[in-house]
A and B are shown apart, each in its own frame.
Chain A
Amino acid sequence: MQWEVVIGLEIHVQLSTKSKIFSGASTAYGAEPNTQACTVDLGLPGVLPVFNGEALKKSVMFGLAVGAQINERSVFDRKNYFYPDSPKAYQISQLYYPIVGEGHIEIDLEDGSQKRVGVTRAHMEEDAGKSLHTSFLNQTGIDLNRAGTPLLEIVSEPDMRSAKEAVAYMRKIHSIVRYLGVSDGNMQEGSFRCDANVSLRPKGQEEFGTRAELKNINSFRFVEKAINVEIERQMDILESGGTVTQETRLYDSEKNETRSMRSKEEANDYRYFPDPDLLPIVISAEEIEAIRQTLPELPDAKCERYMDELGLSEKDAKALTVDRDMADYYEKVQQAIDDAKMAANWMLGDVSAMNNKNGLEFKDCPVNADQLIGLLKRIKDNTISGKIAKEVFEAMYSGEGDADAIIDKKGLKQITDTGAIESIIDEVIANNPGQVAEFQSGKDKLIGFFVGQVMKASKGKANPGQVNQLLMQKLKK
C-alpha cells in the first residue's frame, strides 16, 4: 500500500520580554534555581496575575507577519492540571479566543518549488517551571525560574507531507520570529520547541489516520529524525494490519526511537474556563495598524529585493536572508563596498565556511561586518589580491586584528610597482630559457607556468593583472 504522511506542528516560541507574562520577575536564562520566581510565580495564596503588554505586542507582530487575522478581543483561559512544576495547578493559556487567527507561510521544498502551509492559530500562554530529578536523593527539586515565561504557541494546519517539509516549516517560523525580534529562538535554552502530530493514511484517502503527538523536540535535526522514526513505526503497524493508537509519545534522541508517554484514555481533562482574574485582552484596529508599521522587512521580501535590486541569484539571495543576523551583516558589507556580488561571495564562501567549521551562528562570528569591510576594501583598491585576502581573513578570524594591521605585520601588501615586478619577471625569464623558447615557438599555455613562477617568487604579493600584462610584453619580445 502507498501511504501518505500527514504532519502538523505546534511550536512554542518564548517571547523575548524582559519580565514574565503575568509578573515582574525577570525572564533571564540561567539564574540560580528559584531566584527569579516572585510570589506570583510561586502561586502563593492570594496572588493575582497582571498581564505584560509587551507579550501582546510581540504576538501581534507575529500574527501580522504570517498574514493572520488579529483578534481584537482575546481571552485567557485556565488549563487545569496537577504537576509540581505548575505552581497554581493551572496554566494560563488561550483556548477559546486566541490572539492570532488563521494565517500562512510559504516554505521552500527541495526541488526548488514553494508550498503554502497554513497557520491555524497562535495563542499566548505561560511556561511551567522545571522538575529536577537528579541530585536530590530520591526527591524531586522544583525550579520555578521559568514558570510564567511568556510563550506564543503557533499551531499549524496538518499541511506537511514529510519530515523535510516539517523542518522547512519550522525553519521558516524560526527565521520569522528572529527577524521580528519577538524571540531569540535559542533552541538550547528552550526558547523554540516543537510538538509534532504525525499520522499516516492510504494515498488518496481524504480522512486522516490516527495520530501520535511527539512532545518537546528541541532541534531541527531531531524533528526530522523523530518524525522519520515515527513514520516507520506507524507504517510497520499499519503494514502488518494493526492500528495506531492515539497517544502522546516522547522522542529519545540517544536511542533514536519514540516511546509512549500516555494514551488518549489517560489524557487529562483540562477543564478549561476563562480566567476570572484577568480581563479580556482588547486591542483596537488602530493599535494593530501601529504595530504593523513597526514590522521589519521579512525574509521573503528581502530575498526578492536582493534579486531585483542587487542582481543576486535566487540561491544566493535565499541563503543570505534565512538568518536575520546574516542579512543585516550582508547589507552593511554590501553598502560599504558597493559590490553586491563580491559581498555575497565572501559571506556565502569564506565567512560561512569558517562559521560552519567552528559551529558558530552569524551573530557569534568573530569577524564583524566592519572588519570584513576593511578587508574587502583592500582587495578593491589592489592592496592585496583575492588569494592573499583569504589568508588575511583566516588571521582575522583567529583574532589577530584588523585587515590593515595584519597586512602590515605580515608584509602582505601587493607589489604594484612596475619596476619591481619587471625585475622579478626578468629573473624568471633568465632562469627558464627552455620554457621561454617553447612559449615563443607557440606553446601559449605556458603563460600559466610563468605567472605561477612570478607569483611564487613574489610570495603571492605581485598584482596578478600587472604580472600577466608585463609577462606578455616581455615574452613576446
Chain B
Amino acid sequence: MHNKTITELSAGLEAGDFSSVELTQTYLDRIHSLDKQVNSFITVTPEIALEQAKNADAQRAAGNAGLLNGIPLAQKDIFCTKGVRTSCGSKMLDPFVSPYDATTITKFNDSGAVMLGKTNMDEFAMGSSNETSWYGTVKNPWNQETVPGGSSGGSAAAVAARLAPASTGTDTGGSIRQPASFCGITGLKPTYGRVSRYGMIAFASSLDQAGPMTRTAEDAALMLNVMAGHDLRDSTSVDEAVPDYTANLNDSLEGLKVGLPKEFFSEGLNDDVAKVIESAVKEYEKMGAVIKEISLPTSNLAVPTYYIIAPSECSSNLSRMDGVRFGHRCEDPKDLNDLYIRSRGEGFGPEVKRRILVGTYALSEGFYDAYYVKAQKTRRLITNDFNQAFDDVDVIMGPAAPSTAFKIGELTDDPITMYLSDIYTIAVNLAGLPGMSIPAGFVNNMPVGLQLIGKHFAESKLLNVAHQFQKETDWHLKAPESFK
C-alpha cells in the first residue's frame, strides 16, 4: 500500500479496497518503526490523523469525497497548525503551539486530507542540507550518511522513504527542488503568489512559496489543485484563476521548445550529473521536443543577489521572535535587553544568526543603497533574462543541483559551497517563476533531479512536461532499499 501514489490510493479508497483509517494507520505504523532511521518528522500527530481519517471515511460514505479525501499527508513544520507545535525547526519556536491554521492547512483540511504530522526542516528554512534543524539532521533514505537536502529535507525524506504519500514544502531559494532532487522525488515550486503565504512562517517574504512534494507529477497536480488560489489574507497572493492542473497532463510534447541555459552546464556541475541531465533531455527529444541552447547571462548574479535580499528580509521577519509573547524565553531575565539578548541568543542556531547578521548589516544606514537597493536592481536584470529567454522557448531545463546529495557534515564549515548547492534554483525564486525537480536518473545509486522552469503561472505546462517524462521513464518509481 505504501508504494502507491495519491492517484492510486484515491482510487483504492473510492473502490472500498481500504479505508482512510486503515491507510492512515499503515503510515503511522511505518513512521513509528522507520522514521528513527531518517528523522523526517518533528511531530507526529496520530490522534489528529486518525480522527481526520474517520471523518474522511464518513464523508466518503456520505458520497462527497474529493480526490484528496482520506489521503494522509505530511506537512512541513513551517505551516502553522492549530493546537499543534509549529517549531519551524527551531528551539526558538519549540514551545509554540499555533492558535490558528495556515491557509494551506485549512485548504487541505477542507479537502478531507489527513495530517500525519509535521516534518523536519532546516531552522526557519535556512539551509540546504537539513543540518541546521534544532531537532537533528534528517538523513537521506538513499544513503543515511548523506543529507536529504534542504530546507524541506524532512518532507522530501518522508516521501522518499514511503512514510507519507506526499508532503508540503516551501521554496525560498530551492528548498523544494534541491531536496526533491537529492531524495529522488517530484517537487514543484509554484509561481510566486500562486499559493497563499498566510500562516507559513516567513523566511524571505518576497521569495517564499509553498508547493507539493510527491512521487509523481500527477500527484503534484492534485495537490496544487487544493493549494493554489488567491487569499484575501495574503496581499501578495495573485488573483488569477486556478485551472484544473490535471487537465493538460497528457498533452503531446511534439514541438515543445526546450531551452538549455549554457550557464547551467558549465564549471561547477558534476560530470556524472551532467550526463544524467543530458540523457533526460534526449528522452524529451524522442518525445518530439525541440532543444535549443540559450543564455541567461546574469546567472552568476543570482547567488550574491539572493544572499543580500533573503537575509535582509529574514533579519526583519525573525525580529518578532523576541521572547515577549511566544516561543523561547530565557530564564530570569535581568532587564529588557537581557531578555532579548539571551532569548534570541539561546533560541537561534548559528546559521540563522549568520543570516540575521548579514541582513542587518545590508540594511544598515550607509550600506542600504550599496547592498539592498543594488540587489533589487540585479534581481530585475535576472528576471529580464528569463523573460527574454521565454520569448523563444516554452520550458527551460537543467540540473536542479550541481551534485547528488553530499555527506552529512561535509559542508557545514563551508557555507559558501553550501550556498552554491542552490546555484541553479535561486534565480527562479528571484524571478518569481515556477520550477520543478523530477527524478531523472542516478549517480552511484544517488538520485539526480532534472529541473524544469516555466513562465509565470505556467504550472500546467510544467506538470504536463513532467508527466510525459514519467510516462516514458521509471526513475520516479524507484524506492530506497531499506524503505521498499
Contacts and interface: CB of A to CB of B under 8 A. Distances in A.
B360 A50 contact: no
A46 interface: yes
B100 A39 contact: yes
A87 B96 contact: no
A269 B364 contact: yes
A439 interface: no
Interface string B22-49: 0000000000000000000000000000
A45 B235 CA distance: 17
B98 A44 contact: yes
Nearest to B319: A89
A276 B204 CA distance: 8
Interface in A27-51: 39, 42-51
B228 interface: no
B307 interface: no
A269 B365 contact: yes
Contact of B316 (A44, A49, A50, A80): A80
A146 interface: no
Nearest to A81: B319
Nearest to A24: B233
Interface stretch (B5-13, B194-202, B445-453): B194-202
Contacts of A49: 235
Contacts of B322: 82, 84, 89
A222 interface: no
A3 interface: no
Nearest to B79: A46
B364 A45 contact: no
B205 A276 contact: yes
Contacts of A44: 80, 98-100, 320, 325-326
Contacts of A48: 197-198, 233-236
B1 interface: no
A359 B286 CA distance: 89
A51 B235 CA distance: 8
Contacts of A39: 99-100
A78 interface: yes
Contacts of B372: 273
B236 A271 contact: no
Given A82-B319, A87-B325, A90-B319, A47 B364 contact: no
B320 A46 contact: no
Given A44-B326, A45-B96, A279 B235 contact: yes
Interface in A44-63: 44-51
Given A44-B100, A82-B340, A278 B316 contact: no
B320 A87 contact: yes
A461 interface: no
A278 B312 CA distance: 16
A80 B363 contact: yes
A278 B237 CA distance: 10
A277 interface: yes
A47 B100 CA distance: 10
Contacts of B365: 269, 271
Q: Which of A50, A80, A88, A89 has the most CB of B within 10 A?
A: A89
B357 interface: no
B437 interface: no
Of B198, B199, B324, B364, most A-chain CB atoms within 10 Å: B324
Given A50-B232, A84-B336, A269-B364, A45 B316 contact: no
B232 A46 contact: no
Given A44-B326, A46-B202, A269-B365, A90 B88 contact: no
Nearest to A269: B365
Contacts of B130: none
A50 B363 contact: no
B236 A276 contact: yes
Contact of A84 (B79, B315, B324, B326): B324
Interface in B197-216: 197-202, 204-206
B312 A273 contact: yes
Nearest to A84: B324
B368 interface: yes
Contacts of B102: 46
B313 interface: yes
Interface in B66-111: 79-80, 86, 88, 93, 96, 98-100, 102
B235 A278 contact: yes
A142 interface: yes
**Interface size class for chain B?**
35 or more
A41 to B, nearest CB: 11
Nearest to B363: A271
A89 B326 CA distance: 13
A80 B321 CA distance: 13
A90 B199 CA distance: 19
A43 B232 CA distance: 18
Interface in B132-169: none
A42 B316 contact: no
A126 to B, nearest CB: 14
A142 B324 CA distance: 9
Given A45-B96, A87-B325, A78 B316 contact: yes
A39 B199 CA distance: 10
Interface string B323-347: 0111100000000100010000000
Interface in B208-260: 232-236
Given A39-B99, A48-B233, A89 B320 contact: yes
Contacts of A278: 235-236
Interface in A67-92: 78, 80, 82, 84, 87-90
A427 B336 CA distance: 87
B93 A45 contact: yes
Contacts of B320: 43-45, 87-89
A269 B315 CA distance: 14
A238 B473 CA distance: 85
B325 A271 contact: no
B129 to A, nearest CB: 23
Listed residue (A42, A47, A78) with the most chain B CB atoms within 10 angstroms of its CB: A47
A81 to B, nearest CB: 9
A80 B315 CA distance: 9
A277 B199 contact: no
Contacts of B326: 44-45
Contacts of A269: 364-365
Contacts of A80: 315-316, 319, 363
B233 A276 contact: no
B173 to A, nearest CB: 15
B106 to A, nearest CB: 12
Nearest to A268: B365
A142 B322 CA distance: 14
Given A84-B336, A269-B364, A276-B206, A46 B319 contact: no
A51 B236 CA distance: 11
B39 to A, nearest CB: 23
Pick from B198, B202, B235 the residue with the most CB of A within 10 Å: B235
Interface in A415-455: none
A42 B233 contact: no
Contacts of A279: 235-236
Contacts of A50: 232-235
B344 to A, nearest CB: 9
18 contacts: A43-B320, A43-B325, A44-B80, A44-B325, A44-B326, A45-B80, A46-B198, A84-B324, A84-B336, A87-B325, A89-B322, A271-B363, A272-B368, A273-B363, A273-B372, A276-B205, A277-B202, A278-B235
Interface of B: 79-80, 86, 88, 93, 96, 98-100, 102, 197-202, 204-206, 232-236, 312-313, 315-316, 319-322, 324-327, 336, 340, 360, 363-365, 368, 372
Which 8 pairs between the two chains have the least Cβ-Cβ distance? A89-B319, A271-B363, A276-B205, A276-B206, A46-B199, A45-B201, A46-B80, A43-B320
Given A82-B319, A277-B205, 14 more contacts: A44-B325, A46-B86, A50-B233, A78-B316, A80-B319, A80-B363, A90-B316, A142-B325, A271-B316, A271-B365, A273-B312, A273-B368, A276-B313, A277-B202
